[in-house]
Amino acid sequence: MAKSKKNPKGSAVALAEQGIHTGSQFASVMSALLTDTIAGRIEPQVANAACNISGKLLKVVELQYKYGKAVDGQTERMLALTPLAPKPEEKVQ
């Protein structure tokens, strides 16, 4: 776990709690994570876990961009991780 030292306002924890939705936010969190780790505010094991998770998040973004499909005229692409269930057909009597 993170050490008990207080995290300053610009810390990785504070930035991550606001959410990471853009590349710029991701870069800011990773930069703060590096700084917090070097300063001893975050344990190396926690920083390592965060980096591993971050790599997986970036892979999802890459796959979504590469293989995702636009949904209902939206510009954002969606990557289905499992097959979508077919719509039940209406029964005809």
Residue 44 lies in a domain: yes
> Is 40 inside any structural domain?
yes
Domain that holds residue 50: 12-78
DSSP for 10-79, please give it: TSHHHHHHT---SHHHHHHHHHHHHHHHHHTSS-HHHHHHHHHHHHHHHHHHHHHHHH-EE-TT-SSEE-
Instruction: Look at 92 and 86; give whichever has higher pLDDT.
Output: 86
- Quick: pLDDT tens for 54-78: 999 999 989 988 888 877 777 778 8
Count of domains forming the chain: 1
Of the ranges 39-43, 73-77, 83-87, the best mean pLDDT one: 39-43
Mean pLDDT for all residues in the chain = 83
| pTM score over 0.95 | no
